[in-house]
Amino acid sequence: MSDKQVAIVTGGSRGIGRAISLELANSGRRVAIVYKSNKEKAFGTLKEIENLGGEGDIFQADVTKWKDIEEVVKGVLTKWGRIDILINNAGITRDKLLLKMDEEDWDEVLDTDLKGAFICTRLIARHMIKNKDGRIVNIASVIGEIGNIGQSNYSAAKAGLIGFTKACARELSRWNITVNAVAPGYIDTEMTRVLDEDVKKEYLSRIPLGRFGKAEEVAKLVLFLVSEDASYITGQVINIDGGLVM
């Protein structure tokens, strides 16, 4: 077995997931980029990794589908023989006011942002248990802590993800697996670029550091949490939000 660590990053081809994939590859890990549909984008991120001298591969999968994730696990183990790190990053928003939100909006967000993390963790943790070592980082959101108008589905999913993180941290600690959540505030990605200018202005006025965050800043925090230096940190939710929530 190679001594290089292997990381799986869901939604790893763009935004925060892309930045995490690049950081992990840059630090010498092999990175499995899990993407849902945009192969070109995933391939582009892989090319960036390779241009920087890193190693990775792309795996098409929908995190809400058990079969898909089983195939990813099989593929990664066949290729590299181990899984050390899981980053549950895939997420979506379907914003609507409560009285306009239909069941589909609710289910889609809960399935992707919460159940997706459960499926991936459920299928991947067993390989970490065998190795008696592992790092899991869930990308939650400050919205899971404070709620937000028009985001009852997303707030519930991310709050659920925080609870899930703590339960998993307790359960998996005896195998030396740490499980933490990162809760970003407003980060400039495709997810947030679509918001109205007025909404953005309003957010900005509430951020003490006076600017939106960068995907790379979130990636650096994730890199720390998977490192040896973070070996005694588990079950935590670490906000990265320019001081929005304190």
Catalytic one among 154, 186, 203, 232? 154
C-alpha span between 109 and 92 (Å, rounded)? 6
Nearest to 152 by CA among 202, 90, 99, 91: 99
> In the bound complex, what is the minimum distance in angstroms from residue 37's beta carbon to ligand NAI?
7
186 is catalytic: no
Q: Is 5 helix (H, G, I), strand (E, B) or coil?
A: coil
Choose between 45 and 178: whose C-beta lies nearer to ligand NAI: 45
In angstroms, what is the minimal distance from the CB of 9 to ligand NAI?
10
The least CB distance from residue 232 to ligand NAI, in Å, is 25
Nearer to ligand NAI, 133 or 216 (CB): 216
DSSP 208: T
- What radius of gyration do the chain's Cα atoms show? 17
Based on CB atoms, which residue is closest to ligand NAI, 232 or 244? Answer: 244
CA atoms within 13 A on the CB side of 9: 30
Q: Which residues bind ligand NAI (CB under 6 A)?
A: 10-11, 13-17, 34, 36, 62-64, 89-92, 112, 116, 139, 141, 184, 186-187, 189-192
First to last CA, the chain: 44
Indicate which residues carry an active-site annotation.
154
